[in-house]
Structures are given as structure tokens and as C-alpha cells.
Structure 1
């Protein structure tokens, strides 16, 4: 397992939401990414920073759109969520993870943390953030390890599911119809 900084380039595969992301990852505590994409025919640029606790749970997510909108979420060690001003975000109580729509990075954190054996499955709650709307909602998700580097991801609220390929570090290499790793 490498602790050297990792640089990743992902391409969005959805023709209705094309995107390109450059991620700089300091394993496994900090990530900084920039996503340039289209949503409803309008371009957006999203910069984000994600900090994680040593146990792999997210502790802070900062999002900033070039258009001027921003969002910050904090999660303490007890699983309580607040916004950037320190106000409690009660709808997110019980969420262990974040799921940022514009990047497959946020699939890596639970994949790594859960440490599932092949055939194993786990359900969790995540704070799902839409991009570029920055809408936030709690969703239930399931991860099932199908093979050494293959997981089934399911959003239990919407019924969406996909088989996600990862590398030995747990970083997404192919998320069909959503993302592919270019570098």
C-alpha cells in the first residue's frame, strides 16, 4: 500500500454529463480535486477538498463552484454533522460517508474502510451531494465485493446499481456509464 501522493485523472462517461477530473490524493487523509463538466448544457467547475480520519471516515468536505456557490460539511468522531458555520445538520445523523456525485473518489473511502471479503456486503448511510446544485440528502447504500477488484454499488433509495472496478488501492478504474480512470 503506497503512502506517496497519487495523481488521478478521471473522465465522465455519461454523454449527458461529460466531465474531466484531476485529483491529488495524499493517502488516505486528504484529497483535492477539480472537476470541469456540463450539467443541463451548462458548464461548471467544482473544486473540492476532502479530509479523512485515520479510520477512513470523512471528517471535512469543502466544495466550491466557480460560479461562487460553496458548501462545507464537517463530521466529528461521534458521527455528528455540521455545516461550515458549525450549525448541526440533523438530517445527516447516522451518515458514515459522503458521496459526491461528480467524482468516484467518494466510493473509494467506504471500499477501503469496509475491508469486505469476496462475497461480503455492507449497508451504510451517506451524505449524497448533487453537482452543481450542491443539494444534500442522506441515502442508504450497499457495497458488495464481487471479486478482488470488483464491487457492486447500490443506492438503496433510488434503486441505482453498478459494478465498479477498482485497482489494488481501491481507487475506481471503471464505473460503467459514469467514470473511467485515464491516469
Structure 2
């Protein structure tokens, strides 16, 4: 199965196109993000490998004008390497949080089952993509219940707090003032085969593969 998503940016010009492929033993994600920060336009791409349990295994982040990708990788027992160097401060983190996408909010939400009113705290590998900085952060998600078929999660990280609107599959529909879902499309069978071929051709043209 393959899913394609487009989010728009609520607070500035920008958007993201994301493709998620569910394979037999893992999932692969490719996101392309256009954004503006302090008047400067940016074009970024990230490739992510996930387990079927939604835990991050590896991410490569490519930034226009920067020759080498930024790579963060998890090994056994939730230990993390940043550009090949082990970072003990990240021990025990179960997933990543990228500043440029709402997709990484899906990861902790889809890792566990939720009951109304339940709160969970996750240790995350927080990646400031434009600054290429990594640090551990605790984030708290509280499931507030359903509203017209959508799930509402209170999300808190340090002093920041908001309410995320999420669909039944875990995709963020609304991140108030920041991201809004514009399209979600699922392909199967022949559609998946054809689109996978086009992705492979694109990766070859860019002279790099997913992993």
C-alpha cells in the first residue's frame, strides 16, 4: 500500500508532499518540503525508514545548497547515531520529531492504542532541520476524544501546547496555525507498482536511493 499526502503551511508560504510506502517488513517515507523562514526560501527532502511499529530506524535529510545529507539512525535498544557519531543523550528515545513536518506527530500517535483522557509521555529525538541541531525532548500527548469522526490530541512540548486534529489513520488534519491537510490519497495494486517505478526513476535521476 502507498499513501500520498499534501499539507499546506498555515503561518507562511510553503507546502509538503509526502509519500509513504508500506512494504512487507518496514515502511519508507519520502517528504519534499518548500518553506520560507525569515524571508529565505528553502527546498528540503527527507527519506525515512520506519518499522511496521512506527519506530524510526533511519532518516536522511537533504537541503538545497548543502552537499551532504544529515543522517540520524537508530540501532538496537533505542540508541542513536548522528552523522555516524553515537549520541548518548538520545538513549531511550523512540522516535524523531522534525521541525518541518506534521508527519512526525503521527509516529507516537500510531505507536500505541489510546483511550479517551489518556496521556503518554514520549522521549523524542528533536531535529531542527535548518540548523542541523539534534537534542532529546519530552513530549506529552493526551487523547481528548473524537469530534465528527476526527480524533483530538492535546500536544505539549516544553512551554508550547496545542490541540491536534488527527484522522483515524493517524494523519494530522490540522495543526492550528502551522499545518493543514489538503489531500490524502491511497493507492494499491497496479497503481502502487506504477508509482513505485516512477519514484525509483526519480531517485536514480537524483543519484541517490532511499537507503
* TM-score, normalised by the number of residues in structure 2: 0.79
Instruction: Identify which of 29, 43, 54 aligns with 1:31.
Output: 29
Question: Hey, what does 2:10 align to over in structure 1?
Answer: 13
Question: Hey, what does 1:142 align to over in structure 2?
Answer: 140
CA contact (8 A) 1:44 1:67 kept: no
Question: Hey, what does 1:70 align to over in structure 2?
Answer: 69
Aligned pair count reads: 175
Confirm whether residue 83 of structure 1 aligns to residue 90 of structure 2: no
CA contact (8 A) 1:97 1:126 kept: yes
CA contact (8 A) 2:77 2:92 kept: no
Give me the whole-angstrom Cα distance separating, in 1, the residues matched to 2:126 and 2:43.
Answer: 18
Give me the whole-angstrom Cα distance separating, in 1, the residues matched to 2:82 and 2:169.
Answer: 30
CA deviations over 1:50-88 (Å, ceiling 9, x no partner): 111122211101101012153101112310101233x21
Which protein has the bigger helix share? 2
Give me the whole-angstrom Cα distance separating, in 2, the residues matched to 1:152 and 1:62.
Answer: 29
Unpaired segments ≥5 residues, structure 1? none
CA deviations over 1:33-58 (Å, ceiling 9, x no partner): 00011111111111001111122211
Confirm whether residue 176 of structure 1 aligns to residue 176 of structure 2: yes
Tell me which stretches of 4 or more aligned residues in structure 1 moved more than 6 Å.
none
Q: What is the CA RMSD across the aligned residues, in angstroms?
A: 1.3
Give me the whole-angstrom Cα distance separating, in 1, the residues matched to 2:101 and 2:48.
Answer: 12
Instruction: Identify which of 106, 109, 119 aligns with 2:107.
Output: 109
CA deviations over 1:111-132 (Å, ceiling 9, x no partner): 0112211111100111111131
Unpaired segments ≥5 residues, structure 2? 184-211
Question: Hey, what does 1:48 align to over in structure 2?
Answer: 46
| Partner SS, residue 104 of structure 2 | helix
**Computing the radius of gyration over CA atoms, which structure comes out larger, 1 or 2?**
2
CA deviations over 1:85-141 (Å, ceiling 9, x no partner): 3x2112211211100010000000110112211111100111111131121111110
CA contact (8 A) 2:96 2:127 kept: yes
CA deviations over 1:3-57 (Å, ceiling 9, x no partner): x211100011123xx3210000114711100001111111111100111112221
| Partner SS, residue 182 of structure 1 | strand
